[in-house]
Amino acid sequence: MTAKLGVQITPWSTSRELVELGRRLSAAVDLVWVQDQMLARNVYALLAALAQAGCGVGTNVTYPIGRNPIEMAAAAATIGELIPGDREMVVGMGTGGALVNSLFRKDRPLSAVREAITLMRALWTGDPVPLNDFAALGSALGYREGATAQLTFPVVRRPDIVVAGVGPKILSIAATHADGLISPSNMPTLCRAALRSGRFGEISGLDAALAARPAGLPPLRLIFGINVSISKDRDRARAHARRQVSLVIGNPRLWPDLAAVGLDVESAEEVKAAFDRGLGVQGAAARCSDSLADALIISGTPEECVEPMIELRDLAARHGYQEFYVGAPLGPDPAEAADLLLTRVIPEVWPERRGGR
């Protein structure tokens, strides 16, 4: 059976442009994943428009911190009514990144994710759900004591919930509560160096997650993201990748992970120092070494990107990943990147998709 394939888009273009981008890419991919950036274009509105345009869709990823999982459940179920019969709606979930950290308290983020999965699934059954059972969410969102929630419409197609994150605690939640796990290659413990190390299962936590999966549950969906920046203009593609990488490696909590796979921690420290001095993303990106940028995001012309993408695909498949997506940033010009993916990249990396899904 052909492995499922998706593409991840970011909400930085206009809504009409993003929907057209997703519609065009859906000719070759099964799922259009959209990032949840709360202060950008709304992820659920975009997913509804993409579903109406005929795409399979997913959040990659959303989060329960600062959002209400009751509303998230209703939104996902509503979008599910728009999905064509041969496509699916998937909810990708995590604890949220830098934007969430800057806007909201994260008192019990892992408990919030675990409770959100349970609450959303319970609501999709159509039964009344006692909100007293969700202490972390209730404390954060002010659920009324003794209240119950119940959707007012039947949910015919219940979405899968898949979790993204690194670290043993979030991976344990994915293993014991979710339907699957998202692993993006722009994270140090999931990058090409980690896959090449011979210790990927240990470094990434995948071995522990698989071992923690309860025997009575279906096998975890393992979804691997291959983050790329592609353009006919090599320099623009690589500069765009460095900008994205700087936002990842500027987080000191990830530096031990960089060291664990032999990547350039000194460059990461220089990136953080640039942010601290107020030099912004452009100033920080200028201090990101080529070796570190290349380790986390594949970038360049289509011809340069195909071979490392095939390597990542094959390495991930050897570790059990059955599904893939081509991950953000895609390229400095999203429309150009879509054309290059459709005509020159996907047919080489996934030759079974030449001519379409």
Structural domain range at position 133? 5-234+298-353
pLDDT at 357: 82
Query: Residue 241: inside a domain, yes or no?
Result: no
| Six-digit token string for 204 | 């990434």
pTM summary value: 0.95
Query: Residue 251: inside a domain, yes or no?
Result: no
Structural domains of the chain, count: 1
Query: Residue 250: inside a domain, yes or no?
Result: no
Residues 177-225: tens digit of each pLDDT:
999 999 999 999 999 999 999 999 999 999 999 999 999 999 999 999 9
The one-letter amino acid at 231: S
State how far Cα 98 lies from the chain centre.
14
Query: Residue 178: inside a domain, yes or no?
Result: yes
Element (H, E) at 61: strand 57-62
Query: Residue 293: inside a domain, yes or no?
Result: no
Q: Domain of 211: which CATH number?
A: 3.20.20.30
Query: Residue 275: inside a domain, yes or no?
Result: no
| Six-digit token string for 340 | 């290059």
Query: Residue 283: inside a domain, yes or no?
Result: no
User: Is residue 81 classed exposed, middle or buried when 0-12, 13-18 and 19+ CB atoms within 10 A define those classes?
Assistant: middle
Residues 268 and 293: their CA atoms lie apart, in Å, by: 10
Query: Residue 193: inside a domain, yes or no?
Result: yes
pLDDT at 1 over 70: no
Residues 51-97: tens digit of each pLDDT:
999 999 999 999 999 999 999 999 999 999 999 999 999 999 999 98
